[in-house]
Amino acid sequence: MNRGQGQSEEAAVRSVIESWTSAVRRRDIDGILKNHSPDIVMFDVPPPFQSRGIEAYRKTWDMFFSWTRDPIPFDVADMNVIVGDDVAFVVAAMGCAEPGSDGKPKPLAFRLTVGLRKIGGQWTIVHEHHSVPAVD
Amino acid sequence: MNRGQGQSEEAAVRSVIESWTSAVRRRDIDGILKNHSPDIVMFDVPPPFQSRGIEAYRKTWDMFFSWTRDPIPFDVADMNVIVGDDVAFVVAAMGCAEPGSDGKPKPLAFRLTVGLRKIGGQWTIVHEHHSVPAVD
């Protein structure tokens, strides 16, 4: 891939991620799922250990939206895109909120890795890994 | 990439992962670092939030080995390799051990995503994301 192509593909992957985070902030489930594979494998912050397939993935957002209050923070703090001809991944530090012990949302920083394939000319999310460090 | 090339590249990536897990089981730090980028970004199970660069990455293993007992379990339960011409990622369910409340090691299942680039003809690990689901 030449340098110009790489920059253009990187921009396309960034656009997929930004479209997805924007849809989360709008509670727009169709927008969230727009560029996702039917076979996505999700490793989320809360249990379960993994969610396989788009229906299981959709349910992780039902749970998230059931306790999240508007306006929903779901923001990229830092993002690095590694892009090839038809495979890419994204490494990011993210910010959202979690329910605090007083019932009010409190800021939560989490780690995010996203894996993508270019399928039919469209960058498609096939894997997401969201986590926070474990505490004893 | 044709199908034959893809199969061969997938085998090459699997070999990098298997060499790495094998080195962990042997406490072989040079073997662990063998196919890693100087710029690796590590999201580990315990804090910190992230470790940037090979020296910080090496320290995560010093901590791991300080409490892990032999024989060290560090095994792939399930692995999916997504490989392109020069970018690849690996999605895996893994098994290791953590210190139990009685001081004895207890089995720990964790999620693993690894990001690789082909650099100078060699698949090189530029990112690892290890995690367990968060508990309240």
pLDDT in the model for residue B60:
97
Q: Is residue A31 part of a domain?
A: yes
pLDDT in the model for residue B98:
85
pLDDT in the model for residue A135:
86
Burial classification of residue A85, based on how many CB atoms lie within 10 Å of its CB (0-12 exposed, 13-18 middle, 19 or more buried): middle
Percent of chain B with pLDDT over 70: 96
Peptide bond into A48 cis (omega under 30): yes
Q: Which of A83, A87, A109 sits opposite B83 (nearest CB)?
A: A87
B117 in A contact zone (CB under 8 Å) = yes
User: CA B135 from chain center: how many Å?
Assistant: 23
Q: How many CA atoms lie within 13 A of A91 on its CB side?
A: 22
pLDDT in the model for residue B1:
59
CB burial readout A111-134, b (16+ within 10 A) else e = bbbbbbbbeeeebbbbbbbbbbbb
In terms of residue numbers, what domain contains A15?
Answer: 3-131
Contacts 24+ apart (CB under 8 A), B94-97: B94/B130, B96/B68, B96/B72, B97/B68, B97/B69, B97/B72, B97/B73
Q: Is residue B45 part of a domain?
A: yes
B82 in A contact zone (CB under 8 Å) = yes
Q: Is residue B71 part of a domain?
A: yes
Enumerate the β-bridge partners of residue A28. Answer: none
Task: Mark yes or no for CB contact A85/B84 under 8 Å.
Answer: yes
pLDDT in the model for residue A1:
59
pLDDT in the model for residue B100:
84
Give me the sheet containing A51-52, strands edge to edge: A51-52, A36-43, A122-131, A105-119, A87-99, A75-83
CA distance B126 to chain A (A): 9
Q: Is residue B136 part of a domain?
A: no
A117 in B contact zone (CB under 8 Å) = yes
Residue A42 is part of a domain; what is its CATH number?
3.10.450.50
CA gap A122, A102 in Å, rounded: 43
Task: Mark yes or no for CB contact A80/B41 under 8 Å.
Answer: yes
B53 in A contact zone (CB under 8 Å) = no
Task: Mark yes or no for CB contact A91/B135 under 8 Å.
Answer: no
Per residue in A40-97, pLDDT (tens digit) is: 999 999 999 999 999 999 999 999 999 888 899 999 999 999 999 999 999 999 999 9
Q: Is residue A85 part of a domain?
A: yes
Q: Which of A48, A83, A111 sits opposite B87 (nearest CB)?
A: A83
Q: Is residue B31 part of a domain?
A: yes
Cβ contacts below 8 Å, chain A against chain B, sum to 113
Per residue in B24-39, pLDDT (tens digit) is: 999 999 999 999 999 9
A83 in B contact zone (CB under 8 Å) = yes
Task: Mark yes or no for CB contact A89/B91 under 8 Å.
Answer: no
Domains of chain A: total? 1
Best residue in B87, B90, B117 for a mutation probing chain A (most A CBs within 10 Å): B87
Q: Is residue A136 part of a domain?
A: no
B4 in A contact zone (CB under 8 Å) = no
pLDDT confidence band for B2 (50 / 70 / 90): low
Residues of A with Cβ-Cβ distance to B46 under 8 angstroms: 133-134
Instruction: Flag whether the ipTM exceeds 0.90.
Output: yes
Q: Is residue B86 part of a domain?
A: yes
Least confident of A62-66, A105-109, B2-6: B2-6
